[in-house]
Amino acid sequence: MDYKKNKNIIIQECNTALEKVNIDDVNTLVQIILEAKNVFFIGIGRVKLGLEAFAKRLNHLGIRAYMVGDINEPAMRRDDVLIVGSGSGESLIPIAIAKKAKQLGGKIIHLGSNQHSSISKFTDLMIRIPVQTKLYLPDEINSRQPMSSLFEQCILLFADIIAMMIIEKQNIDLKNLWSFHANLE
């Protein structure tokens, strides 16, 4: 039971995984988000929690972002994007939502590890974070953490990296972001 050792394992694993993300794909994602009228997110379990933080951060940047299924979710249109978080790309609900969003004409972005997943046939862009999934594919980064913890951590860090890229690209004054922050606290 060693705090520093475990901290170092987690930070190193996150760094290793995020270093392997394709920068061109990330730049494309930023452009898609900025061009979208609305950004929708779908994920399950702890991945959903990371995506909720991503949606909240985009709202802080003045970008309309919603979790699929939330009470305030508008209709999806052709000028919208759905960001799906699924390490394996095999979770049933995200696959079904991606299929429906594709039928509606939206763009589909997959944040995951498995490039050859069931969701790939609906995907316009995949951001591969090559972490260990429940499939234990040979090209995934092994993790000493339980289950999909590494993927969930990377989603949260990745979201903040994207937010910082948008702030830089849009030349947003950080002090002005507080006007979008919740104030019924």
Q: Which CATH number applies to 3-180: 3.40.50.10490, 3.30.450.20, 3.50.90.10, 3.40.190.10?
A: 3.40.50.10490
**Pairwise CA distance, residues 149 & 96, whole Å:** 24
**Pairwise CA distance, residues 157 & 118, whole Å:** 25
> Would you state the pLDDT for residue 173?
87
Give the residue ranges of the chain where pLDDT is below 70: none
> Would you state the pLDDT for residue 151?
94
Nearest to 27, CA basis, from 125, 150, 139, 108: 125
| From 52, 140, 152, 185, active-site residue | 152
Residue 22: its H or E element: none
Residue 152 is among the residues annotated as catalytic for this protein: yes
> Would you state the pLDDT for residue 54?
97
> Would you state the pLDDT for residue 6?
95
> Would you state the pLDDT for residue 158?
98
> Would you state the pLDDT for residue 132?
87
> Would you state the pLDDT for residue 155?
97
> Would you state the pLDDT for residue 119?
96
> Would you state the pLDDT for residue 149?
92
> Would you state the pLDDT for residue 127?
98
CA distances from 21 to 80, 158, 185 (A): 24, 10, 36
